[in-house]
Chains A and B, each alone.
Chain A
Amino acid sequence: MIYSAKVMDHFTNPRNVGEILGADGVGEVGNPKCGDIMKIYLKVDHDIITDVKFKTFGCGAAVATSSMATELIKGKSIKEALQMTNKAVIEALDGLPPVKIHCSVLAEEAVQAAISDYLIKKGENPADYGIKEPHCEGSCSCCDHCGE
């Protein structure tokens, strides 16, 4: 497994690790069976993400994509953060090995889940913001969708 220097940097010195007590939005995606879980905490002020933290169980790429995703949405508005795609995370990390692309998908979904939670708490409907239910890639044999 060859990771880019950027991935190794974000894995060994992950940005924004931790949790936010009294977070305005929390999102958790993934499945321990598949080997990765990401949890993202948001602090939001007037629709601006003022702080973001994460905790991740997973491989080097899972940690690095979580770290990069939090960097990409920090200081952004909710609408801007929703524009962040897994491709943007991959590009910002100078690429990922093909088998690790799903980690970037998970990072995008974790951000969307945290924003969803924030919107619901605010009494809004995430669907109005174009947030879909997390979709399954159908590529593993271990999660509830794909396996068993």
Chain B
Amino acid sequence: MFVYADNAATTRIDPDVVKAMMPAFGELYGNPSTIYSKGREAKEAVNKAREQVAKAINCRPAEVYFTSCGTESDNWAIRGIVKHYAAKKGKHIITTNIEHHAVFECLKALEKEGFEVTYLPVNEEGFVTAQQVKEAIRPDTVLITVMTANNEIGSIQPIEEIAKTAKENGIFMHTDAVQAVGHIPVDVQKMGVDLLSLSGHKFHAPKGVGALYVRRGVLPDNLLNGGGQERGRRPGTENIAGILGLGAAIEKATSSLERDMEYVSALRDRLIDGILKNIPQCKINTPSHHRLPGTVNVSVKHIEGESMLLLLDMNGICATSGSACASGDLDPSHVLLAIGLPHEIAHGSVRFSFCAENTVEEIDYILDVFPKIAQRLREMSPLWEEAMKNDI
């Protein structure tokens, strides 16, 4: 059996999305910036996709800017805001210590350029509070950037409350909603954010296309210099195929959102229950509430993540790990360390992430294979041997 259980990494392109993109590989080849019919046709197609995105996140089409990916959206939002408003407001930024690298590394780079960043620590379930944000605000705070949902453990942050705090203090609010859009309701009016990043390939659109929502009147500096595309704010000839795919995918995901959330949550819960029942000495790193429907992060004590992934892969199961060894980094996942896991338990983590394409049979197959893998690696582990001795 083959089980794709890494939907937080990327998703399969939906066949309907492929269909929506096909014109861009055929007759829809005009440059949207041109004046003749061939170009206007392409421009109209792009604008239709823009409307689809706007409708999905509840904003005006003119507030949607297409980009090349979630990372670009994050970088543009953060860099663009602080560069434009630093002189007026100051050079202090507030964020959390569980942000995606796209935000984290961007802020690290800004620190080198003289900006100051407060990294709010999350609690052991992976949450920050609006109160923490409030206490971190300084007169020179220019931007608050907090992710909507975490990519590794699936915790969903109280964005609405945080954005309210930001607004009360006249500070811009950005959220990286890359893991949230298409999986939970995302409404920029309700959330009250000024900027929101999203990425197509997380909800069955192709890789290489994302978008940034920028509230009307908010003016981030451009990241790229060039032509007048995207109302002069994001130059570069449009990725028409990707944009059409993004539009179709976000429309489809939103139309079945409630049903999918219920279905995927049931898969998640079935897996968590089964793991706790069948593998002793496990820790579920995904919180028990305010979490994504499809994310399960678990640490299997006394064994290491990469070896689990290799054996899962040999059984046809695609998953990922926060272990240092799996990523080629030297340290385990910063998110798992942030929720207080000791290094050795963070090294033993595996993340399964699901979407509406997954089935109950697949969950049961994982539950058949995974405990055997854990057992096999534990028999090889000197830490397990020690733990067993101490147990007796």
Tell whether A109 is near chain B: CB-to-CB under 8 Å. no
**Could you list 12 further interchain pairs (A-B, Cβ under 8 angstroms) beyond the known A56-B382, A57-B384, A61-B325?**
A1-B306, A1-B326, A8-B310, A12-B310, A17-B380, A33-B343, A35-B324, A35-B332, A37-B382, A39-B382, A56-B381, A99-B328
Q: Does the CB pair B383–A37 fall under 8 Å?
A: yes
Q: Does the CB pair A19–B385 fall under 8 Å?
A: yes
Per-residue interface assignment for chain B, residues 373 to 386, with 1 indicating a CB less than 8 Å from any chain A CB and 0 otherwise: 00000011111110
Q: Does the CB pair B304–A35 fall under 8 Å?
A: yes
Closest to A58 in B: B304
Closest to A17 in B: B380
Within 8 A of B (CB), among A1-47: 1, 8, 11-12, 14, 17, 19, 28, 32-39
Within 8 A of A (CB), among B361-392: 379-385
Closest to A99 in B: B328
Q: Does the CB pair A59–B307 fall under 8 Å?
A: yes
A-B contact pairs, 13 of them (CB 8 A): A11-B307, A11-B310, A17-B379, A36-B304, A39-B382, A56-B380, A57-B380, A57-B382, A59-B325, A60-B306, A62-B304, A97-B328, A142-B343
Q: Does the CB pair B381–A59 fall under 8 Å?
A: no
Interface footprint category on A: 20 to 34
Tell whether A63 is near chain B: CB-to-CB under 8 Å. yes
Within 8 A of B (CB), among A99-148: 99, 139-142
Complex-state Cα separation, A32 to B328, whole angstroms: 17
Tell whether A76 is near chain B: CB-to-CB under 8 Å. no
What secondary structure prevails in chain B residues at the interface with A? Answer: helix
Looking at the complex, which one of A17, A38, A59, A139 makes contact with B323 (CB distance below 8 Å)? A59
Complex-state Cα separation, A60 to B384, whole angstroms: 17
Tell whether B303 is near chain A: CB-to-CB under 8 Å. yes
In the complex, which residues of chain A have a beta carbon less than 8 angstroms from the beta carbon of B258? none
Complex-state Cα separation, A38 to B80, whole angstroms: 49
Q: Does the CB pair B380–A28 fall under 8 Å?
A: no
Q: Does the CB pair B343–A58 fall under 8 Å?
A: no
Complex-state Cα separation, A17 to B383, whole angstroms: 14
Complex-state Cα separation, A34 to B344, whole angstroms: 7
Question: Closest Cβ of chain B: how far from A42's Cβ, in Å?
Answer: 15
Tell whether B224 is near chain A: CB-to-CB under 8 Å. no
In the complex, which residues of chain A have a beta carbon less than 8 angstroms from the beta carbon of B307? 11, 58-60, 62-63
Complex-state Cα separation, A145 to B361, whole angstroms: 47
In the complex, which residues of chain A have a beta carbon less than 8 angstroms from the beta carbon of B311? 12
Looking at the complex, which one of A32, A61, A63 makes contact with B344 (CB distance below 8 Å)? A32
In the complex, which residues of chain A have a beta carbon less than 8 angstroms from the beta carbon of B326? 1, 59
Question: Closest Cβ of chain A: how far from B266's Cβ, in Å?
Answer: 33
Complex-state Cα separation, A39 to B386, whole angstroms: 12
In the complex, which residues of chain A have a beta carbon less than 8 angstroms from the beta carbon of B328? 1, 97, 99
Tell whether B207 is near chain A: CB-to-CB under 8 Å. no
Question: Closest Cβ of chain A: how far from B342's Cβ, in Å?
Answer: 8
- Given A33-B344, A35-B343, A60–B310 Cβ distance below 8 Å? yes
Question: Closest Cβ of chain B: how far from A78's Cβ, in Å?
Answer: 23
